[in-house]
Chains A and B, each alone.
Chain A
Amino acid sequence: MRIIAKLDVKPPFVVKPVHFEGLRKIGEPKTLASQYYAQEADEIFYLDIVSSLYRREILFEEIKRTAEGVFVPFAVGGGVRNLDDMTRLFHCGADKVVINTYALQHDPELIDRAAHLFGSQSVVVNIEAKQWDGWWECYSDCGRERSGKDVLKWVKEAQERGAGEVLLQSVDRDGRKAGFDIDLIANVKDKVSIPLVAASGAGSLEDIRKVYLEAAPDAIALASTLHYGICDIGAIKKMLNMDSKVGG
């Protein structure tokens, strides 16, 4: 299972939204990206969490600076509206692009066009799931805007349109450090054949072990867990390695 360091960015800082609200400053994107790269993160995700919300331009220079010296995949999202945005991100040093708001709320075909030009493997669809009675709804704009779309249906549609990976976040669990939404993750995993990156809720090594054993995502994306030094990447890898040996 890949371990991804997720940087939620409200320029110029990496912040940590609690429950997708109330932001705390953590540090500079470049410093943290270098730090997690040195700690052997398998990938770095950079998500500008206010770009869509404020309808402002993507800050390409900041992204370019952050990508420097990161010799593992660097995925970038937040405010991505069209193929030109994506091309510019690749030219800044991105290896994958992350799409949510514009595909979900305005133009689902953006996924098809991106997969055609860049290949599925570089197109990550970000899902912000909110639980209701008996279903999960897709949100956008960092958990602020409803879409009315069912997560399990949307994830399937995104895959059919050519998405190569799903980043699954939970509006309910994010930043709470009280465990992953195992039920959500297992349900989504069951619906798709593309790799699933589970996020939101890790508060201990045990939480990570639990999601690994019970929902088997292909990767996990960690933010608070790493920012606050709750777990370090080496310890997580060591633990997972032991579990994978036990499990054969």
Chain B
Amino acid sequence: MTGKIGLIDYGAAGNQESIRRALIEAGGDVLIVSDAADFSKVSKLVLPGVGGFHDVMAIIKSSGLYEAILEAAKVKPILGICLGMQMMATLGFEYGETKGLNLIDGEVRKITCKGPIPHIGFNRLEQMGDSPLFKGISAEDEFYFMHSYEFVNYTDILSLSSYYGHKFVSAVGQNHLFGVQFHPEKSREAGIKLLRNFINL
């Protein structure tokens, strides 16, 4: 199924411009979606990252996007990136406890490990599950991470990564719903390839 990719606009937060450019580079036809009425025009959705869990969930709820995303999630493929992935979880704990979109079971908690937090930089995907999202992507490919929180979930994991010996969830997936902790829009050609896989689903 191809068609327009709806890129959710959180207003103040989010690096959607970077994602928009990367989706176009990957061959996508992108529509910025800031209103529930736009959802019928798109066949897939991307939830950007770069934001605080609490504040961005509040923006989504007050703008009417919340119900529209939940409705779309029943049939349309969704790719959550970084915070976008985290908000797909049941609960988040950044600046207090906040309910997420509850699309994928899980909680989002502060990373605890020996390394500097936020975890910032390029890293690899280990134990990649069999997913169309990873078509053509190898364990040598590197993806850019920038996060202080991690998805705690043991059922819908698509890949794990390691940081200072700490294993964390770097991608989740459930049927047509996907979330990646890293930023494919900022991960050179490997990231573009992953976005192209999503576009071609």
Co-complex (A, B): yes
Q: Which residues of A contact B (CB under 8 A)?
A: 2, 40, 42, 64, 67-69, 71-74, 83, 87, 90-96, 115-122, 164-165, 192-196, 218-219
A2 and B118 CA atoms in complex are apart in Å by 14
6 A-B contacts (beta carbon < 8 Å): A2-B121, A42-B144, A73-B146, A95-B146, A95-B183, A122-B146
Residue of B nearest to A64 (CB): B17
Specify which chain B residues have a CB less than 8 angstroms from the CB of A73 in the assembled complex.
144, 146, 183, 186
Known: A87-B12, A90-B15, A218-B121. A119 touches B183 (CB 8 A): no
Residue of A nearest to B20 (CB): A93
A155 and B126 CA atoms in complex are apart in Å by 34
A195 and B116 CA atoms in complex are apart in Å by 5
- Chain B 107-118: CB-based contact to A (< 8 A → 1; otherwise 0): 000000000111
Question: Any chain A CB within 8 A of the CB of B188?
Answer: yes
Residue of A nearest to B59 (CB): A117
Q: Which 3 A-B pairs have the closest CB atoms?
A: A121-B146, A121-B118, A195-B116
The contact of B121 among A40, A42, A90, by CB within 8 Å, is: A42
Known: A87-B13, A120-B118, A194-B118. A72 touches B188 (CB 8 A): yes
B183 touches A165 (CB 8 A): no
A122 and B21 CA atoms in complex are apart in Å by 19
- Rounded to whole Å, the gap between the CB of B57 and the closest CB of chain A is 12
Specify which chain A residues have a CB less than 8 angstroms from the CB of B186 in the assembled complex.
71-73, 95
A116 touches B12 (CB 8 A): no
Specify which chain A residues have a CB less than 8 angstroms from the CB of B50 in the assembled complex.
90, 95, 118-119, 121-122
A115 and B13 CA atoms in complex are apart in Å by 11
Residue of A nearest to B14 (CB): A90
B13 touches A71 (CB 8 A): no
**Which secondary structure dominates chain B's binding surface?**
mixed
Residue of A nearest to B25 (CB): A71
Question: Any chain A CB within 8 A of the CB of B28?
Answer: no
The contact of B83 among A92, A119, A195, A196, by CB within 8 Å, is: A119
The contact of B148 among A40, A116, A120, by CB within 8 Å, is: A120
- Rounded to whole Å, the gap between the CB of A124 and the closest CB of chain B is 10
Known: A71-B186, A116-B52, A116-B95. A83 touches B121 (CB 8 A): no
Question: Any chain A CB within 8 A of the CB of B185?
Answer: yes
A115 touches B121 (CB 8 A): no
A95 touches B54 (CB 8 A): no
Specify which chain A residues have a CB less than 8 angstroms from the CB of B95 in the assembled complex.
116
A116 and B57 CA atoms in complex are apart in Å by 12
Question: Any chain A CB within 8 A of the CB of B129?
Answer: no
A69 and B55 CA atoms in complex are apart in Å by 30
Question: Any chain A CB within 8 A of the CB of B94?
Answer: yes
Specify which chain B residues have a CB less than 8 angstroms from the CB of A195 in the assembled complex.
116, 118, 120-121
Specify which chain B residues have a CB less than 8 angstroms from the CB of A96 in the assembled complex.
146
Residue of A nearest to B191 (CB): A71
- Rounded to whole Å, the gap between the CB of B115 and the closest CB of chain A is 9
Specify which chain A residues have a CB less than 8 angstroms from the CB of B192 in the assembled complex.
71
- Rounded to whole Å, the gap between the CB of B197 and the closest CB of chain A is 16
Specify which chain B residues have a CB less than 8 angstroms from the CB of A2 in the assembled complex.
120-122
Given contacts A116-B95, A122-B50, A195-B121, 5 further A-B contacts (CB under 8 A): A71-B188, A91-B17, A117-B12, A118-B51, A193-B116
A93 touches B144 (CB 8 A): no
Question: Any chain A CB within 8 A of the CB of B147?
Answer: yes
- Rounded to whole Å, the gap between the CB of B200 and the closest CB of chain A is 19
A31 and B22 CA atoms in complex are apart in Å by 19
Question: Any chain A CB within 8 A of the CB of B162?
Answer: no
